[in-house]
Homo-oligomer: A and B are copies of this chain.
Amino acid sequence: MNMPNIDQDALEVGLRLRALREGAGLSQRALAKQAGVTNSTISLIEAGKVNPSVGALKRILEGIPIGLSDFFAYEPDGEKTVFYAAEDLTEIGKGSLSLKQVGANLYGRAMMILLETYDLGADTGRVMYGHDAEEGGIVVSGRVEVTVGEERKVLGVGDAYYFDSRTPHRFRQVGPEKCVVVSACTPPTF
């Protein structure tokens, strides 16, 4: 009598919750305590054996923390996507640095692929990512000065880089034309 896809949805929710919880470094009991539910509830949800109420899920997600909208932003339909038209890239950039992401979100992905466009004079400033991740890329057009730790180098077309995101790093456009870089990085652990 029950529609079979309910189990499918419940399992999807469960797998996602487990990934997020483990990514946050929390045990079922730790998250349960913070969320005000029992560890059984989380266990059953993660195993896909129940179809949680939105209230329960909301409280649990608050302990991670993540919002319901972001949680559901990863929908099963999206995971089938393989090809992306150029205009379908998700724009996440700000200012003179344009970042176009392949896919609308990172959920379930091991990598984030970016098309980075540095306008003339674009400069990320010195940034220090706190999360444990790695990133690398290849320059497609223009030139960019890359500083990683104590090392500094101007990269041209075809040049590449790869480093640990925890190392302080900086990108600065140089030369007369915009710089385009295709990069990849492991996502921040939730």
Distance (whole angstroms) from the CB of A100 to the closest CB of chain B = 9
Q: Does A24 contact B (CB under 8 A)?
A: no
Surface stretch bound by B, among A46-54, A129-137, A161-169 = A46-54
Number of copies of this kind of chain in the complex: 2
- Residue-wise, chain A 47-68 has the 8 Å CB interface mask toward B (1 for contact) of 0000111111111000000011
Q: Does A23 contact B (CB under 8 A)?
A: no
Identify which of B75, B91, B93 contacts A69 (C-beta below 8 A).
B75
Task: Report B-chain residues with C-beta under 8 Å of the C-beta of A89.
Answer: 94
Identify which of B9, B67, B94 contacts A72 (C-beta below 8 A).
B67
Q: Does A139 contact B (CB under 8 A)?
A: no
Q: Does A87 contact B (CB under 8 A)?
A: yes
- Residue-wise, chain A 31-59 has the 8 Å CB interface mask toward B (1 for contact) of 00000100000000000000111111111
Contact between A58 and B9, CB atoms less than 8 A apart = yes
Most B CB contacts (10 A, CB to CB) among A53, A70, A87 go to A53
Q: Does A6 contact B (CB under 8 A)?
A: yes
Q: Does A110 contact B (CB under 8 A)?
A: no
Q: Which residue of B lies closest to A74 (CB)?
A: B69
